[in-house]
């Protein structure tokens, strides 16, 4: 068998270019991170060839003896990481994990109360273009205009008014921690399931840098590739299984099933076919990394760097939604600078700084323009940058945003970005 370099030089060359891009750009997209070599080795392994429909000990295919052990290790490590009774490590992505939650707990037409998409919520929490908004009836709560934070009393009022079957927590652009106890008391008051989607903050939660939702939410989903820094994938967890007295799940067989059983069937065969066993192996490696002491050090630095970034931007006269951050990201409202998200994203891209334009709460621009940018610290923290470098990043971004059309500024900032990237090397290989 030939290496890709010889067999398919066209794709290989593009992989080289992408590696170069990752090595020499400031990666500030809040949902991205850099996986370790060990994780990528597992992802690139022979397990990509293996069909293992079903679960350990209950497969529909032969030859699963090693796949079984790997999946069991992945499950055990994930349970330990979050103090969970039960996990499912097979969802192909965050969206797939969420699809399984809907299938397990909701019927078409049921009401979901979720985090307003225009305030930072995710597509899979009721967007009209997503299955969650097409097959279910979405209602939303949002942040307060003055504070940029959630107001639990208003959420309680909303829940009582719309009587949802499920309440979801979790967002892609909210920089504050959640009051899970109050969310749960609201869910109990209206008889709803409580679902937390910790896709963005799973790493910070694993190390205790943010509160753990598992004792409060009936079900928790996540991605494994954002702050958790694993392979691209999804995960579903339950803190306490067997709490299934709510009776909202009417099992066809008449036997009341545990939520874990409902969710396992909702993943396979409900919404997926065969698991990606190479990714399951990579998840096991990632959970192993997350159980090490230095992962806590990393997450603490992620938080410190995001705070340093927020403070520096505020010093430079920028408006940060909610005036700071508890987690790994900040959302900048650019309106007082006479800019929009589209212009800022494009100008920063020309200076080798990667951010994404983002709606801010009560935005008056369209989603294609937006009034803000979202900036996250996880990826560059993985490279070893600390507070001083993040302050430097705020200054570099400010220099570009002061003159978004100035090519000389783009060039001089790009040069500084390159120096910074060279000081904190990333990947010294293109393929393994």
Ligand X SMILES: *Cc1c(COP(=O)(O)O)cnc(C)c1O
Which residues form the interface with ligand X (CB under 6 A)? Answer: 31, 93-95, 98, 122, 124, 170-172, 197, 199-200, 223, 234
Distance CA 171, CA 192 (A): 19
Judged by beta carbon, residue 121 or residue 318, the one nearer ligand X is 121
Q: Is 403 helix (H, G, I), strand (E, B) or coil?
A: coil
Catalytic residue among 16, 32, 41, 53: 53
Asked about 51 being catalytic, the answer comes back as yes
To the query of whether residue 226 is one of the catalytic residues in this protein, the response is yes
Active site residue 211: no
Cα dihedral 244/250/252/256 (nearest 10): 20
Long-range interactions of 77-81: CB distance < 8 A, separation 24+: 77/284, 77/287, 77/288, 77/290, 77/291, 78/235, 78/237, 78/283, 78/287, 79/237, 80/287, 80/291, 81/206, 81/287, 81/290, 81/291
Nearer to ligand X among residue 122 and residue 216 (C-beta): 122
Residues 6 or more apart whose Cβ sits within 8 Å of residue 11: 4
Q: Which residue among 80, 149, 232, 342 is the active-site one?
A: 232
Given the residues 207, 222, 223, 325, select the one marked as catalytic: 223
Catalytic pick among 71, 116, 139, 197? 197
To ligand X, the closest distance from the beta carbon of 222 in angstroms equals 8
2 annotated active-site: no
The nearest distance, CB 52 to ligand X, in angstroms, is 21
Task: Identify which of residues 200 and 283 has a Cβ nearer to ligand X in the complex.
Answer: 200
Q: How far is the CB of 226 from ligand X (least distance, A)?
A: 6
CA–CA dist 13, 15 (Å, integer): 5
Minimal CB distance residue for ligand X = 94
Structural tokens at position 389: 């470098």
3-class state of residue 96 by DSSP: helix
The answer to whether 333 is a known catalytic residue is: no
| CB closer to ligand X, 127 vs 412 | 127
Q: Which residue is catalytic, options 50, 59, 77, 226?
A: 226
Tokens of 395: 């200054």
Q: How far is the CB of 162 from ligand X (least distance, A)?
A: 21
Kindly tell me which of 23 and 132 has the beta carbon lying closer to ligand X. 132
Q: How far apart are CA 79 and CA 313, in angstroms?
A: 38
Strand partners, 88: 236
Task: Compute the radius of gyration of the chain from its Cα atoms.
Answer: 22
Question: What H or E segment, with its residue span, contains residue 13?
Answer: helix 9-24
At its nearest, how many Å lie between ligand X and the CB of residue 94? 2
Catalytic residue among 24, 51, 156, 399: 51
Catalytic site includes residue 232? yes
Residue closer to ligand X by CB (options 95, 396) is 95
CB of 145 to ligand X, least distance (A): 22
Q: At what angle do helices 387-402 and 407-423 cross, to 10 degrees?
A: 170
Bridge partners, residue 372, by sequence: 333, 358
Tell me which residues are annotated as active site: 51, 53, 197, 223, 226, 232
């Amino acid at each position: 068998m030939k290496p890709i370099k010889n067999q398919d030089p066209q794709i290989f060359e593009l992989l080289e270019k992408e590696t170069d891009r990752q090595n020499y750009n400031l990666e500030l997209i809040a949902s991205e991170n850099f996986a370790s070599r060990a994780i990528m080795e597992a992802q690139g392994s022979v397990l990509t060839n293996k069909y293992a429909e079903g679960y350990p000990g209950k497969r529909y295919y032969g030859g699963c003896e090693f796949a079984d052990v790997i999946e069991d290790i992945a499950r055990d490590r994930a349970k330990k990481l979050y103090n969970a009774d039960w996990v499912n490590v097979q969802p192909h992505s965050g969206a797939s994990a969420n699809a399984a939650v809907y299938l397990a707990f909701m019927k078409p037409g049921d009401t979901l109360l979720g985090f307003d998409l225009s305030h930072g919520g995710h597509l899979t929490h009721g967007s009209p273009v997503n299955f969650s908004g097409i097959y279910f009836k979405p209602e939303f709560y949002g942040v307060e205009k003055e504070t940029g934070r959630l107001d639990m009393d208003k959420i309680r009022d909303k829940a009582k008014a719309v009587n949802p079957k499920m309440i979801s927590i979790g967002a892609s652009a909210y920089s504050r921690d959640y009051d899970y106890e109050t969310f749960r008391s609201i869910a109990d008051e209206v008889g709803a399931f409580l679902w937390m989607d910790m896709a963005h903050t799973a790493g910070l939660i694993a190390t205790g840098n943010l509160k753990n939702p598992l004792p409060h939410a009936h079900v928790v989903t996540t991605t494994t590739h954002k702050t958790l820094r694993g392979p691209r994938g999804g995960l579903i967890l339950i803190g306490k299984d067997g709490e299934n007295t709510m009776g909202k799940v009417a099992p066809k067989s008449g036997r009341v099933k545990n939520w874990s059983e409902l969710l396992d069937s909702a993943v396979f065969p409900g919404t997926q076919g065969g698991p990606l066993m190479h990714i399951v192996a990579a998840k096991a490696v990632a959970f192993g990394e997350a159980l090490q002491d230095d992962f806590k050090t990393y997450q603490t630095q992620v938080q410190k760097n995001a705070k340093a970034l927020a403070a520096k931007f505020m010093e430079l006269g920028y408006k940060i939604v909610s005036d700071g951050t508890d987690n790994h990201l900040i959302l900048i409202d650019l309106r007082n600078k006479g800019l929009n998200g589209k212009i800022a994203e494009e100008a920063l891209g020309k200076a080798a700084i990667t951010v994404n334009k983002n709606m801010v709460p009560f935005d008056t621009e369209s989603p294609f323009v937006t009034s803000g940018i979202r900036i996250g610290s996880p990826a560059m923290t993985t490279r070893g940058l600390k507070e001083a470098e993040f302050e430097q990043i705020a200054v570099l971004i400010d220099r570009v945003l002061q003159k978004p059309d100035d090519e000389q500024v783009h060039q001089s900032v790009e040069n500084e970005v390159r120096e910074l990237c060279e000081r904190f090397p990333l990947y010294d290989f293109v393929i393994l």
